[in-house]
Structure 1
Amino acid sequence: MPRATITVQRKLTILRDADERQLNNKESLKSIARSHGVQAVQIRNWRKQREVLSLTRPRARSLHKGKPSTIKYLEDAVIGHAFEMRQIGVGITYNHLVIKACQLDEGFRAKTYEVQYQLIRRLCNSNCLVNRRRTHVSQEHPQEAIDRAEEWLSEIRPILSAPNVLKEYIINMDQTPLPFSLASSTTLELEGEKTVTVRQTGNSKTRCTVSLTITADGGKLKPMIIFKGQRGGTIATRELAASQYRDNMVLSCQSNAWQDEENMNDWVDGVLVPHLQQHAAGSPVYLFLDQFAAHDTASFRTRMDSLGVTLKLIPGKCTWVLQPIDVGIGKPFKDRVRQKWFRWMINHAEADVDLPNASTDEIQQWVNDTWQELPEDIVRNSWKKSNLSWFV
Structure 2
Amino acid sequence: MSNDYLLETILELTGDAKNSACWKKFIRLLPESAILEETGELKYQMSKGSIKNPAKYLVALFKKRLRGEKVIKEAGSPPPKMNNHKCKNQVELFSELVPRKKGDKEGGRKEKMPARYSSKYIPWLSFLGPEFFTLSTNKRKSDRVLARFVTFGGDDRLVPVLRGKYFPGDSERGILTTEHGRILIAIEDIWLEQSMAHGYDFVMYDETGACHCYCVVSVRELAKRLGWKSFNGGAMKHLKRKVMDLKVCGYYLDLKDVEAVGSLGGYGFSLLAEVEIIPEKGKIKGQIFLKVTFSDPVSRQLIKRRAVYRPKEMMRHRSELAFLLRLEIERSLMGCAHYERTLKELILILNLPAGGWHKYASDRHRQFDKAVKELNMCHLVDGRKWQVTLVKTDDDHKLVAQAIGTARLLEEQYK
Greater Cα radius of gyration, structure 1 or 2: 1
**TM score, norm. by length of structure 2:** 0.23
* More relative contact order, 1 or 2 (CA 8 Å, 6+ apart): 2
Q: Which has the higher helix share?
A: 1
**Which has a greater percent of strand?**
2
TM-score normalised by length of structure 1:
0.24
